[in-house]
Amino acid sequence: MQIHSISRVLATPFIILAIGMIFYSYTYKKEYSAYIFVPVTILVALYVLHGPIDHWWKTKYPIKLDKKLKDWLSSHFVYYNSLNPSELEKFEYRMGLYLDGRLFKSIGAEQRDVPEDIKCMVAAHGIRMNMGHDDYLIGDMDRIFLYKHPFPSPAMQFLHTVETNIEDGVIILSLEQLTNAVLYPDDYYNVAYHAYSEAFIGVRKNYQYPDTTDTWDGIERVSGFSKEVLINQTGLPDLTLLPVHMTCFFTFPSSYKTVFPDHYEKFSAIFKQRP
């Protein structure tokens, strides 16, 4: 039997102890009631630290990825099917830990939990991008908010489909745009790769990235997306080229290598993989 929450297992004997001490002190010797602070303090500590404790446990004893999620990846995420057995094990191991260690919320009239297959669709892009790195969680980028459609935000009060806030550790995506990009990659720009690219750049500021200044024409030759199309699909009038290059490196690797051979080699070294 796999343990999903080691913090709850650890808490159980202290809960029993606390209840027993309360019963004993009030029934027999009230002076023992002062000692109740010991199990209570431990329980408070376990509650406060349950996230890191459970995540550490799952790194040692990972929970196997659900078959339905494997089936989704096999059907919709081409990269997943290209992995050899050891890479597949690594990808699934990281997927399980990522889904457990990151908060996903669907935003609408109220915040809702996100179905596991939708979480998987988003997370797969970040894990794939960071397969060559130990930090597949990308620093403290620990919250992913999903809107059904393009959305405004306090930082950008106009409709857009992707936003990354490094300081707050937040990624925000339009589920409509991402789903279309997964199903029809030749017609829709992949905002998940774009968001994870921005996160990657924000967390790893000291890397020597390729110079992508004034390369819009090359991006159109790689992807078929003009500057106007990309601005329209992202809703970002000041779209930055570096994350666009990274996105194209993963979504159109063959044409990217042809059009930007030097950039391809630099990104291959940065990401420690050759798409």
Same domain, residue pair 28 and 77: no
Domain coverage including residue 36? 6-60
> What is the C-alpha separation between 259 and 249, in angstroms, rounded?
11
Triad 18, 19, 22: Cα angle to 5°: 85
Same domain, residue pair 20 and 89: no
Residue-wise pLDDT tens digits, 87-114: 999 999 999 889 988 999 999 878 899 9
Greatest alpha-carbon pair distance for the chain in Å reads: 83
Find the Cα–Cα–Cα–Cα dihedral 86, 88, 89, 95, rounded to 10°.
Answer: 150
Q: Residue range 169-174: average pLDDT?
A: 97
> What pLDDT does residue 1 have?
42
> What is the C-alpha separation between 18 and 14, in angstroms, rounded?
6
Out of 60, 81, 105, a domain closes at: 60
Element (H, E) at 1: none
Give residue for tokens 């905002």.
191
User: Which whole-number Å values give the CA distances from 179 to 30, 31, 110, 161, 187, in the listed order?
Assistant: 62, 63, 21, 12, 12
174: left (phi over 0), alpha (psi -120 to 50) or beta: beta
Residue-wise pLDDT tens digits, 180-215: 999 999 999 999 999 999 999 999 999 999 999 999
Average pLDDT score, the chain? 88
Same domain, residue pair 75 and 38: no
As for how many domains the chain has, the answer is 2
Same domain, residue pair 128 and 41: no
pTM of the predicted protein model: 0.82
Same domain, residue pair 80 and 52: no
Asked whether residue 180 is assigned to any structural domain, the reply reads yes
> What pLDDT does residue 100 have?
83
Q: What end-to-end distance do the CA atoms of the chain give, in Å? A: 38
Asked whether residue 1 is assigned to any structural domain, the reply reads no
Same domain, residue pair 140 and 187: yes
Same domain, residue pair 203 and 178: yes
Please check whether residue 123 is in contact with residue 98, taking contact to mean a CB–CB distance below 8 angstroms.
Answer: yes
pLDDT at 4 over 60: no
Asked whether residue 92 is assigned to any structural domain, the reply reads yes
Residue-wise pLDDT tens digits, 212-270: 999 999 999 999 999 999 999 999 999 999 999 999 999 999 999 999 999 999 999 99
